[in-house]
Amino acid sequence: MDKTLAGTILTIDLNTNPIQNPSETPPDELIQELNRMKSENKKLSDMLTIVTTNYNDLMQTNEYENIGNFIGNNSFNHNCYDEYSSPGTPKVIKSNVSRIYVRVDPLDTSLVVKDGYQWRKYGQKVTRDNPSPRAYYKCSFAPSCPVKKKVQRSVDDPSILVVTYEGRHHHHHPDISAVSPSGVAGASSPGRIPIECSGSTPSLDHLKDTLTCSKIQKAIATTDSTEIQQLLVEKMAYSLTRNSGFTAALVAAITGRIFDEVISAENSGDIIVSNSKAFSM
């Protein structure tokens, strides 16, 4: 278990399995920006602000449907969800609908995605445009919870499950510890940033409940907490790992910067990581 921040970021890089979209153009501007910031030895908070701005721009200008999350078998993935309608239709924002992708074992025929919530399957159907069946689930944790999800294998790549969430959970995450080996949880709630903190502080709990992608910048602006900033770095790094070039640049830039701060803090006796569990893998 590597509990260092640098280890966390590197682990994100190793565990993610970005699938390149052929139409995707590498965010060269971001790579250059990160390299420039690192060379100028900018402060982490400054880097976050700039990266977040570019991150939001990237998310808003993508022509293809929003990202997904690419992970190993039975792991949990998380990301920042834009809420688009299905591909092929005009880019219309559809409320409370999001889609993620999960890489699974192609030989595993079960349509099960472990996201920490409890789901009840209520139907399965073979659709016209995809030979693999689509499974329908309702959230069973809270009787009144309206959230549904649909799980179906990608027609292009059977090793990828396409999970479509509809609605938002209006209850707390039922089992935050059982979600993933990384201990990162809460991402099945569309539009929310998955943050887990074993030592709950009011500020972190507030973030956990209220942060959305559009609020990242505000959060950065209103907090001096290195811990929260690091969580945001993790969040953005995860989302941007679609591009291997950018991933490498991001990891190099941010981990280099964080490592510098950690080493500096250790030398000075300051405690930077107040909640190591949030970063442990």
Partner DNA sequence: CGAGTTTGACCGGCGC
Partner DNA sequence: GCGCCGGTCAAACTCG
The residues of the shown chain that bind DNA, judged by CB under 7 A, are 118-125, 127-129, 134-136, 140, 148, 150
CB nearer to DNA: pick between 127 and 200: 127
* Minimum distance, C-beta of residue 16 to DNA, in the bound complex (Å): 27
Say if residues 100 and 151 touch (Cβ distance below 8 Å). Answer: no
* Minimum distance, C-beta of residue 120 to DNA, in the bound complex (Å): 5
CB nearer to DNA: pick between 149 and 242: 149
CB nearer to DNA: pick between 121 and 218: 121
Q: Where are the beta strands (DSSP E) in the chain?
A: 97-103, 119-126, 133-139, 148-153, 160-166
Q: Name residues whose C-beta falls within 8 Å of residue 26's C-beta, 6 or more positions apart in sequence.
A: 243, 245, 246
CB nearer to DNA: pick between 121 and 206: 121
CB nearer to DNA: pick between 120 and 206: 120
* Minimum distance, C-beta of residue 130 to DNA, in the bound complex (Å): 8
* Minimum distance, C-beta of residue 180 to DNA, in the bound complex (Å): 19
